[in-house]
Amino acid sequence: MAATFEDFKFNRQILNAIADAGYTEPTPVQIKAIPPITSGQDVMGIAQTGTGKTAAYVLPIVMRLKYAQGEHARALILAPTRELAMQIEENVKIYAKYTDLRIVSVYGGLGPKTQIESIKKGVDIIVATPGRFMDIYLAGHIITKPLQVLVLDEADKMMDMGFMPQINRILEVVPVKRQNLLFSATMSDKVHELSANFLEFPTVIEVTPQATPAQTVEQKVYHVPNMKTKINLLRELLKDEGDITKLIVFCKTRTAAEDVYKFLTRKFGEEAVRVLHANKGQNTRINSMNAFKNDEVKILVATDVASRGIDVSDVSHVINFDVPVVIEDYVHRIGRTGRALQAGVAITFCNPAEEYYLNKIQKLIRQTIPVFNIPDGVFVEETAFEERQDLAREIDLQKRKENPDFKGAFHEKKTATQRKKFDAEKAKRVGHVGQPKGRARGAKKRR
């Protein structure tokens, strides 16, 4: 087992880049993954974000390619979101710092012109989202014949986002003889199916049990009755600012993210907070990420579109303002803190309609998240009628999912008027069916 990076037999350029990046010893995923990847094996890694998996596959790729060669890419790394693609590109540049390898990232949200120009100048490693890669390939600007290594990172998220058709098309256009690496935080049925198509007798590496949050993250949950009380609780937790040095607040929807952002800007001023969601333009998203990374802002409000690809090593707290509906996203959200063996805190606000998802999350991570009482200083608001109705409807839907025979709290209220309508319709139909055969329905009597 390698105890230091020297044990991996990396060349001096890579070891110098690792030292510059401040890494002193390899993480468990690096210890397990680097030797089989270096020896050319197909590898399937079950490793959550924040465990050092990017370096685990990038370092052997840099070692294998060594220097710039030819015009066309020899390694392709696919990622589900532009944020993650940008993050991987940044990491590859750090590890390839003392080589002349050419790295280009391609993703949507920007026009492809600049990306195509970069590829035409010559490229060794392409980092791409599947859709944009196929667009540029089909336009004739990417030659895949020289590809030696194909990496799928965050494969579970790619499956959730519906990228299977694009990935299957990419597999049709890349050389059959190549090394394949697949990394995923969870091992869903879809990822299993993909790995069967994609990997040849892979070495399987599982660093932590599937979908287990980093051990360094302290998890808490507060049961909160409604949106207004969630805001009050957020205000109370932010009073004790000494502990919170860098915070990401995750919301389920863009609307919720905007509401929380407006509240926080009123409290801390616009210079202290940024918001990140799919409605924001690409440049705004890049600027927000950079401001957060460079400590220009202390708080980032984000939807799950941003939960992958935020690689900021010193996030002290994550607050789940809403419980994620895609339960695997919980692992990714809280994986933004407690990175690189540092301690972190993940706090979840859970309303009555979210308990269903919280229970599923606890099954997935095989842990019971400790419940904390709402602090005395928090004013617990009455739930407004409309929100109460929405919560009840959501709970009904959940119960129906679990039990198709469940009639629901709203069922009885509807029946009085609906039953009358239904009976009237039925009587009409029975009347029509019971007519003598000789006369078509609605036909006039013969005189």
pLDDT per 10-residue tile (average), the chain, 447 residues: 81 92 86 93 83 90 93 95 88 93 91 93 96 94 95 87 88 92 82 82 75 72 95 88 82 90 88 78 74 85 69 81 86 73 84 93 88 93 92 89 70 55 66 49 46
State residue 446's pLDDT score: 46
What is the Cα–Cα distance from 274 to 265, expressed in whole angstroms?
A: 9
Given this model, what pLDDT does residue 348 score?
96
CA nearest neighbour of 136 among 97, 164, 105, 163: 105
Residue in 82, 307, 229, 284 with CA at minimum distance from that of residue 275: 284
Predicted pLDDT at 213:
59
Q: Output the pLDDT for position 344.
A: 84
In this structure, what DSSP letter does residue 374 have?
Answer: P
- CA atoms in the 13 A half-sphere facing the CB of 129: 23
Q: Is 10 exposed, middle or buried (0-12, 13-18, 19+ CB in 10 A)?
A: buried
Sign, CA dihedral 345-349-352-357, equals negative
Q: What's the pLDDT at 270?
A: 84
- Give pTM, 2 decimals: 0.58
Task: Say which residues have a Cβ less than 8 Å from residue 249's Cβ, sequence separation at least 6.
Answer: 234, 260, 264, 299, 300, 301, 302, 318, 319, 321
Closest CA to 430 of 439, 420, 441: 441
Residue labelled with tokens 């629901």: 408
What is the model's pLDDT at position 119?
95
pLDDT at residue 442, rounded to an integer:
45
**Which of 179, 58, 180, 173 is closest to 125 using CA atoms?**
58
The three-state secondary structure class of 165 is helix
Task: Please name each of the domains of the chain with its CATH number.
Answer: 5-206 (3.40.50.300), 217-384+395-401 (3.40.50.300)
Phi first, then psi: give them for residue 241, nearest 5 degrees: -75, -20
> What is the rounded distance in angstroms from the CA atom of residue 416 to the CA atom of residue 141?
65
